[in-house]
Amino acid sequence: MMNNKLDKESLKDEMIQTKEDLQKSFDEQLGHIEVTKEELEKLKANLTQYPKYVLEREVKHYHILKKLGVVEKEQGLYDRLDKAINFLNKQLELQANRTKH
């Protein structure tokens, strides 16, 4: 039979390591966010009936929304990992308290 404490501890350690690895690679990931010429051409084609200032505004929005999407996805993953790590810590504390009594 496997020791549940070891499993929870191992899982927690793996999640902590995963988060650290993700944080290290995040700068590299951000450096690869780019808006392609094809994406801009498609956006411009969809907005040909609008004045130039609307087009310029939409292009700026497109750029920031693409970056925002990457950042929000990363934040969501960190939040989920943090919640799971906290949950596992509480489970390990409960388990430790039960074995003391």
Q: What is the pLDDT of residues 84-93, one digit of tens each?
A: 999 999 999 9
Residue labelled with tokens 């609307």: 54
φ, ψ at 42 (rounded to 5°): -65, -45
- Report domain extents, the chain: 4-100
Q: State the pTM of this model.
A: 0.74
Give 13-36 pLDDT, tens digit per residue: 999 999 999 999 998 888 888 889
Q: How far is CA 54 from CA 39, 45, 47, 57, in A?
A: 17, 13, 8, 5
